[in-house]
């Protein structure tokens, strides 16, 4: 069963307190998502490190319950 959008947002916010998450269902199937994550924890980190921080929120669910997640990261201004 696909991961619900609100569960994706909650997982990211739990991993990165203070993060702002904008989530889009790319295919209308609740299985292919795009997330724009703005978090102060990203400051000074490479883009790859930022993405790893987001994916850490899902552990073993990535590729299973959460099939596809496109991530864009930003540091708050």
- Composition of the chain by helix, strand, coil, percent to 5: 35, 30, 40
What six digits make up the tokens of 6?
Answer: 């609100």
pLDDT in tens, the chain (77 residues): 789 999 999 999 999 999 999 999 998 888 899 999 999 999 999 999 999 999 999 999 988 888 889 999 999 99
* Whether 65 contacts 3, CB under 8 Å: yes
pLDDT of residue 64: 85
From CA 40, how far away is CA 60, in angstroms rounded? 25
Query: Does the reported pTM lie above 0.85?
Result: yes
Domain 5-74: which CATH number of 3.40.50.720, 3.30.450.20, 1.10.10.10, 3.30.300.90: 3.30.300.90
């Amino acid at each position: 069963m696909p991961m619900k959008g609100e569960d994706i947002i909650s997982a990211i916010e739990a991993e990165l307190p203070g993060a702002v998450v904008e989530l889009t269902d790319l295919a209308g199937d609740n299985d292919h998502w795009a997330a724009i994550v703005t978090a102060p924890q990203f400051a000074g980190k490479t883009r790859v490190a930022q993405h790893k921080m987001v994916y850490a929120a899902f552990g073993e669910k990535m590729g299973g319950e959460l099939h596809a997640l496109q991530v864009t990261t930003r540091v708050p201004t």
